[in-house]
Amino acid sequence: MSKKIGLFYGTQTGKTESVAEIIRDEFGNNVVTLHDISQAEIADFDEYQYLIIGCPTWNIGELQSDWEGIYSELDDVDFNGKVVAYFGTGDQIGYADNFQDAIGILEEKISQCGGKTVGYWSTEGYDFNDSKALRNGKFVGLALDEDNQSDLTDDRIKTWVSQLKSEFGL
Ligand SMILES: Cc1cc2nc3c(=O)[nH]c(=O)nc-3n(C[C@H](O)[C@H](O)[C@H](O)COP(=O)(O)O)c2cc1C
């Protein structure tokens, strides 16, 4: 696996960061480089053809604050030719009407800027009312719920990373 993948995540209380590390380790072979979006610059996206974007949903349907801060600058990034996967952490019980909204918001923007989305994920096994992260009945990326279903996280990551290896063509 010689291709490089940049994983850009934001986190408020550390859950999305922990998940990012598990995803990196699951890929193995040092293919994934982590970037905390609070430390990253927009030019860092240019380094990669393959991207993984991680964002928790905060404040009832909002982006995590560091992603919020960089959101308008995403318009200046040329995502054409880039293959992009998304994962989020959220709380399907506490925020059932806005579960995982953040990855839906980011995917909409990045695909408008040319990114090709991969890594769609079934809604089977979740219980929520609504989400901006839905596309044709699927989540736009891996939906994790550390608040209510942390016991499922490792298996979900294993399955999704295996799917991504194939979709990235690694
Ligand atoms: C005030 C507050 C608002 C939240 N809003 C949402 C929400 O709208 N949708 C959702 O799915 N999760 C929501 N969550 C849950 C967080 O997204 C979840 O705990 C997440 O794993 C936090 O990730 P982090 O530790 O990386 O910041 C909210 C949590 C809090 C405390």
Q: At 134, is the secondary structure helix, strand, or coil?
A: strand
d(CA 129, CA 115): 28
Ligand 1 centre and the CA of 120: distance in Å?
21
Ligand 1 centre and the CA of 76: distance in Å?
28
pLDDT number for residue 91? 98
* Contact indicator for 108, 69 with CB cutoff of 8 Å: no
Residue carrying the six token digits 């995590």: 64
35-46: per-residue pLDDT in tens? 999 999 999 999
User: Distance between the two ends of the chain, CA-based, in angstroms?
Assistant: 6
2-24: per-residue pLDDT in tens? 469 999 999 999 999 999 999 99
* Contact indicator for 133, 143 with CB cutoff of 8 Å: yes
